[in-house]
């Protein structure tokens, strides 16, 4: 009983402000005649329209490009990170180059990607990969280089075979940092997908937003923005669930470290 | 019975030997010699403890013996085989159990990990061998837990089970009970006697606790301060089975303890 009460109290403390915000927005904007700030009711009905009529033409392509870009970033980032993290001479050789490339903002490569990949999906995926690859790579390298020497000693002294050393020791040991890197990549990916749809594009959520703003369909523009917010939020929730499952041991370990049960 | 095993096979090639082992870190003006000409032999089925003043390079010696670090000069042999990397016939129990066990794996998976990919061992064999090893250390019901859900003493038991499942000829233990409380420590010392009686492998245990060395060992190797060499090898002829109360209250025990303490204090750097 107390647990149920505790849970509902926790839920209440978390959601009262979002609810209040929506209610305030709804009532304050309900009589608005401003071109730029239409009533929330109209924005939401436009949002419904956008989701139903433009799902296949715009929303799906955005999601597909984002998913493809993030998948490639993660796979490439972890593989390259493994190589660079496990081979210190390789890392030393590559480090200046990596620092330089990483310093270039992903969006700055839009013009380059445009003439290299055209205006299709390839260009958008390439832009996401170029921006979202770095956090995964750098965090994988850091995670691997930070593995406890004792863990390596255990692996060597027990002659753990190479395959198990990589998949059962190195990757799990570096997982907390790799996942933190992926988390940054996901937010970068959302930024980059929108940016890529601003230029020479004919589809996507970013395209809807920019087009409607140019044509003064402000309610549609706000609807697209809301959609992006919801999308980012849902991605974050999804990510938290995955992280929660994968890093249960990490929380448990830190829990006992702090709890002092030794 | 343990005594018969321990004394029975003193002939032939030693289970483990260090010959003129030395280790220097750095070079030129910054060179620091940690080990200087360490030589000793450990016979088959013998339990030998290494004691020495703190900072005597015990960890360096152990890493050289385990093949985790090359020595500057001299060599280590397991039987007739020269150690050039971590030998398959040796298992190591490290001091810091909280770092030596993989926190992302269950206890069972930790014990099974070194057995993966071993020829002729199916997944079922592996599971069974891990369960037997866990039962030998009194943790038959903890296989599904994670190491961090166990107490420190239990975690070190898991590390010992992992070593047992590996079925080594030589078990190397690096200050294995230094991070647990006194009562747990006594329990783990008795566990060491019990697994020795059951498995009969050769044990080389590094410790800074002189009572522990006398209680566990057939012989105690006393090291000097840096650069480390062997000061004296003290035979311990206390009868088995040994007991925390009765063995430790005999006059022979006290004499041995006093003798070794004198040696260690005299060699303090």
* Residue with tokens 């601003």, as numbered in its chain: A198
Residues in A whose CB is inside 8 Å of some CB of B read 148, 150-151, 153-154, 156-161, 163-164, 168-169, 172-173, 175, 249-250, 252-253, 255-256, 261-262
> Which residues of chain B have a CB within 8 Å of the CB of A253?
103, 148
Dig out the tokens for B43 from the structure: 């016979």
- Does residue A120 form part of some domain? yes
Please report whether residue A34 resides in a domain: no
The more confidently predicted of residues A254 and B15 is B15
Domain membership flag for residue A260: no
The answer to whether the CB atoms of A164 and B149 lie below 8 A apart is no
Tell me the average pLDDT of chain B.
90
A chain contacts of residue B103, beta-carbon cutoff 8 Å: 249-250, 252-253
Alpha helix stretches (DSSP H) within A33-109 = 40-53, 60-86, 88-103
pLDDT for the residue B6: 41
The answer to whether position A128 is within a domain reads yes
**Inter-chain contact B149–A256, Cβ cutoff 8 Å?**
yes
Q: Do B148 and A163 touch (CB under 8 A)?
A: no
Task: Indicate the burial class of B38 (C-beta count within 10 angstroms; 0-12, 13-18, 19 or more).
Answer: buried
The percent of residues above 90 in pLDDT, for chain B, comes to 77
Domain coordinates in residue numbering, chain B: 1-89+168-269, 101-167
- Secondary structure string (H, E, C) spanning A156-170: HHCCCCHHHHHHHHH
Contacts of A142 (CB under 8 A, 6+ apart): A85, A177
pLDDT at A163: 94
Is the CB of residue A127 less than 8 Å from the CB of residue A191?
A: no
User: Is residue A30 assigned to a domain?
Assistant: no
Contact B103 A250 (CB under 8 A): yes
Q: CATH number for the domain including A84?
A: 1.10.3720.10
Half-sphere exposure of B104 (CA within 13 A, CB side): 15
- Over range B12-20, report the average pLDDT: 90
Integer Cα distance of B223 and B40 in angstroms: 11
Question: Which ipTM score applies to this complex?
Answer: 0.90
Cα distances (Å, whole numbers) of residue B165 to A121, A152, A160? 54, 19, 14
Identify the pLDDT of residue B265: 85
Kindly identify which residue of chain A lies nearest to residue B184, measuring between CA atoms.
Answer: A262
In the predicted structure, residue B9 carries a pLDDT above the cut 80:
no
pLDDT digits (tens, 9 = 90+) for B179-218: 899 999 999 999 999 999 999 999 999 998 999 999 999 9
CATH topology of domain B1-89+168-269: Rossmann fold (3.40.50)
Indicate the number of domains in chain A. 1
Residues ≥6 apart with Cβ < 8 Å to A162: none
Q: Taking the alpha carbons of B59, B62, B63, B64 in that order, is the dihedral positive or negative? A: positive
Instruction: Determine how many CB atoms are found less than 10 A away from the CB of residue B64.
Output: 25
Phi then psi dihedrals of residue B143, to 5 deg? -55, -35
Does pLDDT of A164 surpass 90? yes
pLDDT band, residue B28 (cuts 50/70/90):
confident
**Rounded mean pLDDT, B135-161:** 94
Other beta carbons within 10 angstroms of residue A92's beta carbon come to: 10
pTM, to two decimals = 0.85
Q: Which residue of B has its CA nearest to A157?
A: B86
Per-residue buried b or exposed e for A160-198, using 16+ beta carbons within 10 Å of the residue's own CB:
beeebbeebbbbbbbbbbbbbbbbebbebbbbbbbbbbe
Average pLDDT over residues A31-37: 88
User: A17 is written with which tokens?
Assistant: 């402000």
Residue at token pair 């891990």: B130
Query: Residue A165 is part of which domain span?
Result: 40-244
Contact at CB, A157 and B113, closer than 8 angstroms: no
């Amino acid at each position: 009983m107390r647990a149920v009460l505790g849970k509902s109290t926790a839920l209440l403390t978390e959601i009262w402000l979002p609810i209040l915000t929506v209610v305030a927005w709804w009532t304050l904007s309900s009589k608005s005649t401003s071109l730029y700030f239409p009533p929330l009711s109209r924005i939401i009905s436009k949002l419904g329209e956008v989701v139903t009529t433009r799902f296949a033409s715009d929303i799906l392509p955005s999601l597909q490009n984002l998913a493809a870009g993030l998948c490639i970033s993660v796979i490439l980032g972890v593989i390259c990170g493994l190589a660079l993290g496990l081979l210190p001479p390789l890392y030393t050789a590559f480090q200046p180059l990596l620092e330089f490339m990483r310093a270039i903002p992903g969006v700055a490569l839009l013009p380059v990607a445009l003439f290299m990949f055209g205006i299709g999906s390839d260009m958008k995926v390439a832009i996401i990969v170029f921006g979202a690859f770095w956090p995964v790579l750098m965090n994988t390298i850091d995670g691997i280089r930070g593995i406890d020497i004792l863990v390596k000693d255990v692996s060597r002294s027990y002659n753990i075979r190479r395959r198990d050393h990589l998949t059962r020791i190195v990757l799990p040991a570096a997982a907390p940092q790799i996942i933190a890197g992926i988390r940054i990549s996901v937010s970068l990916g959302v930024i980059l997908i929108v940016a890529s749809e601003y230029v020479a594009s004919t589809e996507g959520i970013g395209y809807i937003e920019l087009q409607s703003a140019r044509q003064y369909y402000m309610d549609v523009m706000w609807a697209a923005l809301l959609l992006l917010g919801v999308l980012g939020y849902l991605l974050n929730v999804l990510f938290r669930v995955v992280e929660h499952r994968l890093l249960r041991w990490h929380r448990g370990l830190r829990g006992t470290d702090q709890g002092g049960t030794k | 019975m343990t005594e018969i095993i321990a004394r029975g096979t003193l002939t032939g090639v030693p289970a483990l030997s260090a010959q003129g082992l030395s280790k220097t870190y750095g070079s030129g003006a910054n060179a620091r010699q940690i080990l200087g000409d360490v030589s000793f032999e450990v016979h088959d089925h013998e339990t030998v403890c290494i004691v020495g003043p703190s900072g005597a390079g015990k960890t360096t010696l152990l890493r050289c013996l385990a093949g985790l670090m090359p020595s500057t000069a001299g060599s280590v042999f397991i039987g007739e085989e020269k150690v050039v990397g971590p030998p398959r016939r040796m298992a190591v129990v490290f001091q810091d159990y909280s770092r030596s066990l993989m926190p992302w794996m269950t206890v069972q998976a930790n014990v099974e990990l070194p057995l993966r990919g071993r020829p002729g061992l199916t997944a079922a064999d592996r599971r069974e061998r891990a369960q037997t090893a866990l039962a030998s250390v009194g943790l038959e019901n903890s296989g599904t837990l994670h190491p961090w859900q166990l107490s420190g003493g239990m975690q070190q038991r898991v590390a010992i089970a992992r070593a047992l499942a590996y079925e080594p000829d030589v078990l190397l233990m690096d200050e294995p009970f230094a991070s647990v409380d006194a009562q747990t420590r006594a329990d783990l010392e008795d566990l060491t006697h019990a697994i020795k009686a059951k498995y009969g492998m050769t044990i080389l245990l590094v410790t800074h606790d002189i009572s522990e060395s006398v209680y566990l060992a057939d012989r105690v190797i006393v090291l000097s301060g840096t650069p480390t060499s062997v000061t004296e090898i003290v035979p311990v002829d206390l009868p088995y089975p040994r007991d925390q109360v009765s063995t430790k209250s005999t006059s022979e025990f006290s004499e041995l303890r006093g003798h070794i303490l004198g040696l260690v204090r005299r060699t303090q750097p």
